[in-house]
Chain A
Amino acid sequence: MSEDMQEEAEGTVKKFMYVNRKAPYGTIYALEALEVVLIGAAFDQDVSLAFIDDGVFQLSNGQNTTDIGIKNFSPAFGALGDYDVSKLYVEKESMDERGLALDDLMELTWEDEDDDWEEKPSIHLVSREEMKTILGNQDVILSF
């Protein structure tokens, strides 16, 4: 079987990138993006997430929405590993501009089934230059 046909038989896997650029509660974008990621995970594609601009605020730890009457959906980021979404690229410049460091973000991990369920970090801090390259290598980009 040629490589093309093999790919056809197994279904073509595309690189899907979800770009998050909005803070979590001021608009519905962040929650909608997360829901699309969870739903889209059923399609077994090569999924990654980018956090740029105010999108980095979505990953802040210690979110507590009790008094604003909106559901705190930040814990759901912790489930992404179970959905085989293990690449969260966070832009360093966006973090710096907002006075954020890696400690200010939730600790997100995924379990590597092929490595005795070893827990590995999902968040990758990348520079703007690296982010440009990552964005340039996607088959599909969904921006929120």
Chain B
Amino acid sequence: MAYDLNGTTIEHDEEGYLTDLSQWNEELAIILAKDENIEMNEEHWEVINFLRNYYDEYQIAPAIRVLVKALKKTMGKEKGSNKYLYTLFPYGPAKQACKIAGLPKPTGCI
């Protein structure tokens, strides 16, 4: 199973998560988002970039409540809420945002 990015084959698992995280780029993120029926805007990118930075530092995809807590701290109460995240990623920030960010599924997310 693979995505096609300008002729380059990018492998993914049966759920659509990238096999090789280093193959991610912003162009691919837009394709991944489209697959999820999401049109990327600035607010989506904020979350995606946060996730990527978090993964860079800790080598894990954060659990939702960790993501919420961190967004609350850095971006304020309005953006640090489940509701806000679900508005951006209706099928779940863990499932959709992590996938778009090119991260593995969060540990403990079934």
Contacts and interface: CB of A to CB of B under 8 A. Distances in A.
Interface of A: 35, 38-39, 41-42, 71-73, 75-76, 78-79, 82-83, 117
A76 B66 contact: no
A42 B65 contact: yes
Contact of A73 (B57, B59, B63, B65): B59
Interface residues of B, number: 14
Interface secondary structure of A, over-half rule = helix
B62 interface: yes
Contacts of B66: 79, 82-83
Contacts of A72: 59
A75 B60 CA distance: 9
A42 B58 contact: no
Contact of A38 (B54, B60, B70): B60
A82 B62 contact: yes
A35 B60 CA distance: 10
B65 A79 contact: no
B54 to A, nearest CB: 8
A78 to B, nearest CB: 6
Given A38-B108, A39-B107, 13 more contacts: A35-B107, A38-B60, A38-B107, A39-B108, A42-B65, A42-B108, A71-B59, A78-B57, A79-B54, A79-B58, A79-B60, A79-B62, A82-B66
